[in-house]
Amino acid sequence: MTTNDTPIEQEHWDNWVKYRSNDAANELIVNYMYLVNFHVERISSNLPKSVNKDDVKSLGLLGLYDALKKFDPSRDLKFDTYASFRIKGAILDGLRKLDWLPRSLREKTKKVNQVSIELEQALKRQPSSKEIAEQMGISSREVESIVSDSLYANVLSIEEKPKNNAEELKEGIGYSIPDEATLPEMQLLQGELKDELVMGIKALNKNEQMVVSLFYYDELTFTEIGQILGLTTSRISQIHKKSIFKLKNTLTKIQKSS
C-alpha cells in the first residue's frame, strides 16, 4: 500500500487489516473524511436545493466504509485514490436510486425544452436563456438552473455502473464504458464533440472559462473558486450555470448537424 501515513495512522491500518478492529475503522474514517466532504461539495453544487446535503454525505460515508472493507493493501495503489472512486460511485448510485430530481423540476425541464424548440424555429437560431425566460415568465437565472440540474440528471444516467466485474476498480471516474462502445465511428464522434466543446469554452467570457476550468479540470469546489476569483460562492454558482447553459447550446447544435 502506498501511503504517507504517520506511525499512529499506520497502526490503525494494521489493526484494521489484521484484526478488523472497529475502533481502527472509526479512526480511519475520521482520517479520510475529507474525501467524503470534497465529493459531497462537488456533487451537491450540481443538485437542486431540495436534495438534502446530509443525505448525500451519508451516501459518501457508505462509499468510504465500502472502500475500507474492499481495499487490498498489497496492491500498488493509494487508498485515497481507491476511496475517491468508491465514494463518488456510492453517491451517484444512491442519487439514481433516490430519483432526486423532483417532479416539478422534470415538468419545468420539459417546458424549457418545448419553449426552446419553438423559439429556435421562430428565430432560426438557438435562443438565449433570457429569451426563453421571457417566454416562460420566469428569470433567466431560473432557466439556467433548470438546464444545469437536468443536465446533471443525464450525467447520472450515463455514469451507470457496469454489471459485469462490478467489484473491480476502473479508471477515470471509477467506472468505464465497455470496450464494445469504442467503435471507430464512436471515436470520431467523441473527437468532434471534444473539439466543439473546446470551441464552446473558448467562446465563454473570462470568468466563465475560469470557473469551468477550475471546477472540471482542477476539481476545486465553488467556495475555493470564489476565494481565487474574489467572488461569493453563490456568484460562482450562477456563473457555472450560465456557462453550462451556453455549452449545452453548443452540444445541441453538434447533435443536430451529425
Together in a domain, 118 and 48: no
Number of domains, the chain: 3
Choose one of 54, 77, 98: the last residue of a domain.
98
pTM exceeds 0.75 for this model: no
Q: Could you tell me the pLDDT band of residue 103, with boundaries at 50, 70 and 90?
A: confident
What's 205's DSSP letter?
A: -
pLDDT in tens, 167-203: 444 433 333 333 444 455 555 555 556 666 777 788 8
| CA angle, residues 82, 88, 91, in degrees to nearest 5 | 140
What CATH number is associated with residue 131? 1.20.140.160
Same domain, yes or no: 255 and 201? yes
Q: Read off the CATH number of the domain in which 72 is found.
A: 1.10.1740.10
Residues 25, 47, single domain; the answer is yes
Asked, for residue 67, whether it belongs to a domain, the answer is yes
**pLDDT tens by residue, 218-255:** 878 888 899 999 999 989 988 988 888 888 776 665 55
Query: Is residue 195 located within the same domain as residue 241?
Result: yes
Q: What is the extent of the structural domain holding 135?
A: 101-176
Rounded distance between C-alpha atoms, residue 225 and residue 152, angstroms: 20
Q: What percent of the chain has pLDDT over 70?
A: 75
Same domain, 42 and 92: yes
Looking at 45-107, which runs of residues are DSSP E strands? Answer: none
For the chain, the average pLDDT equals 78
Could you tell me if 184 and 122 lie in one domain?
no
- 74 lies in the same domain as 29: yes
In a domain, residue 224? The reply is yes
- Spell out the residues 6+ positions from residue 16 whose beta carbon is closer than 8 angstroms to its own: 24, 25, 28, 68
Rounded Cα distance between 35 and 223, Å, is: 16
For residue 48, give the amino acid letter.
P
Mean pLDDT of 78-90: 90
> CA-to-CA distance for 102 and 46, rounded, in angstroms?
14
Task: Name every residue whose Cβ is closer than 8 Å to that of residue 240 and which is 6 or more positions away in sequence.
Answer: 45, 148, 211, 212, 215, 222
User: Lowest-confidence range among 23-27, 92-96, 193-197, 239-243?
Assistant: 193-197
Question: What's the pLDDT score for residue 75?
Answer: 80
Of 77, 98, 119, at which residue does a domain stop?
Answer: 98
pLDDT at residue 95 greater than cutoff 70 = yes
* Domain end residue (candidates: 148, 176, 204): 176
* 43 and 66 share one domain: yes
